[in-house]
Amino acid sequence: MNYEKYMKICIQLAKQAEGEVSPNPLVGCVILDKDGNQISTGFHKKYGENHAERDALLKLKNGEENEGTLIVNLEPCSHYGKTPPCADLIIERGIKKVVIGMRDVNPIVAGNGIKKLKDAGIEVIEDVLSDECKKLNEIFIKNMTKNLPFIAIKTATTLDGKIATSSGSSKWITSEKSRKEVKNIRKRYDAILTTSSTILADNPTMEHKKKIILDRKLKTNLESKIYKSGEIYLFNESLDMFEGGINFIKTPSNQEKLDLEFVIKKAWQLGIKSILIEAGGHLNGEAIKCADKIYHFIAPKITCDNSSLSCFDSKKINSISESKNFVFSSIEMFEPDILLTYYPC
Ligand code: AOF
Ligand code: ZN
């Protein structure tokens, strides 16, 4: 039986809820009857609502799932949370085989769902398209295993890695199609993060539900477009208060640079599970140390300008062996640009 085909459907279903389920995982489910015909699908649509398995099973009313197969990208849960355990419902409904993409990394489930199913005599097949399933839930995995938010960086450059000319001209390096895709990427993250330099240079709107702004010396004008919508977390060295709809968060002062680790830990305490950094070369150069993923749009342009601004800008290194290494994950066209996605090694 080609379960990979159905696991791909689970992943596609799960992705429909991107941006809606945090802090929970993205989960999709397919059910086959005993003859292998697809009879139902489901997915986890919104935080607090039915899990994918329950969503798919509850659509079936006449017992046609009896002795059937359930395919799901994450191990079914075994705990009483917002809903009763999915493993119990699967057993109750007489499913004979469960095909899983990856084990749950949530310590309250972690193997217990599989054990419950096996104890009830259900055959369990594990690790079908496990790499794809882990990628789908990379945020959830980082959160559960490290107790920290997932950090992604988005940048848009010319072929020579530049984000603006030396005079600051940057509109527009990438195409409208690329900029539209940025909006889709943003949706996957709880918060976006940017800096005073970016706000002062571009006065961007950056439509998003949560915005983290690094402005140590409070140089930005609170009338800037970015402050007009969303929940604002303004990290600075002088104020610690909530005023005018803005959460001012005081960071340690007398440091050469703003302590990004402090910001990330504080964000975690505030319940932020994932952050998309959209800033300039200096912050990116710092953030690269703690980044989990990079989205890099590249336009087919070359500035040839030796003092134009680079997308990752930090200390000088002497040898290529000191550079940070990455693995490419995907390459997509957003005419005429490309989007390269890569991960630290
Ligand atoms: C989901 N959706 O489809 C599956 C999940 O907060 P609760 O009670 O909804 O439980 C969340 C946990 O349930 C989650 O961390 C994960 O371990 C497990 N499975 N969660 O939100 C789903 N299958
Ligand atoms: Zn569940």
Give the tens place of pLDDT for each residue, 209-240: 999 999 999 999 999 999 999 999 999 999 99
Give the residue whose CA is nearest to atom 13 of ligand 1. 77
Same domain, 130 and 153: no
Supply the pLDDT for residue 210: 97
pLDDT band at 255 (very low <50, low <70, confident <90, very high): confident
| Last residue within a domain, chosen from 117, 144, 171 | 144
Rounded distance between C-alpha atoms, residue 182 and residue 207, angstroms: 11
Assign 3-class secondary structure to 172-190. CCCCHHHHHHHHHHHHCCC
SS3 at position 227:
helix
Please say whether the dihedral angle defined by the alpha carbons of residues 326, 259, 277 and 17, taken in this order, is positive or negative.
positive
Same domain, 120 and 160: no
The CB of 42 under 6 Å from ligand 1? The reply is: no
Where is pLDDT greater, at 308 or 129?
129
The CB of 75 under 6 Å from ligand 1? The reply is: no
pTM of the complete model: 0.94
Same domain, 102 and 152: no
Rounded distance between C-alpha atoms, residue 105 and residue 150, angstroms: 15
Same domain, 130 and 172: no
Same domain, 217 and 321: yes
Give the residue whose CA is nearest to atom 11 of ligand 1. 24
Same domain, 324 and 273: yes
Task: Quote the Cα angle for 338-136-124, to 5°.
Answer: 145
The neighbouring-strand residues paired with 157 are: 298
The CB of 46 under 6 Å from ligand 1? The reply is: no
What separation in Å is there between the alpha carbon of 274 and the centre of ligand 1? 17
- As for how many domains the chain has, the answer is 2
Same domain, 81 and 186: no
The CB of 82 under 6 Å from ligand 1? The reply is: yes
Rounded distance between C-alpha atoms, residue 54 and residue 62, angstroms: 15
Same domain, 127 and 159: no
pLDDT band at 172 (very low <50, low <70, confident <90, very high): confident
Q: Which of 16, 41, 45, 77 best tests ligand 1's pocket when mutated (most atoms within 8 Å of CB)?
A: 77
Burial 230-239 (b: 16+ CB within 10 A, else e): bebbbbbeee
Same domain, 139 and 188: no
Q: What is the mean pLDDT of the chain?
A: 95
Question: 112: which residues sit within 8 A by CB, 6+ positions away?
Answer: 78, 79, 87
CATH number at residue 96: 3.40.140.10
Same domain, 135 and 153: no
Q: What is the mean pLDDT of residues 42-52?
A: 96
| Last residue within a domain, chosen from 124, 144, 164 | 144
Same domain, 136 and 154: no
What residues act catalytically? 53
The CB of 149 under 6 Å from ligand 1? The reply is: no
Tokens of 236: 């600075």
Give the residue whose CA is nearest to atom 19 of ligand 1. 77
CATH number at residue 161: 3.40.430.10
| Last residue within a domain, chosen from 99, 114, 144 | 144
Amino acid sitting at position 279: A
* 291-336 per-position pLDDT tens digit: 999 999 999 999 998 888 899 999 899 999 999 999 999 999 999 9
Same domain, 215 and 90: no
Q: What is the mean pLDDT of residues 249-267?
A: 89
- The stretches of the chain forming alpha helices (DSSP H) are 3-15, 52-57, 86-92, 112-119, 130-136, 138-146, 176-187, 196-202, 260-269, 281-287
Instruction: Determine the structural domain holding residue 168 and report its residue range.
Output: 148-344
Q: Which of 24, 75, 80, 112 best tests ligand 1's pocket when mutated (most atoms within 8 Å of CB)?
A: 24
HSE of 135, CA atoms in CB hemisphere, 13 A: 13
- Contact criterion met (CB below 8 Å) for 196 and 203: no
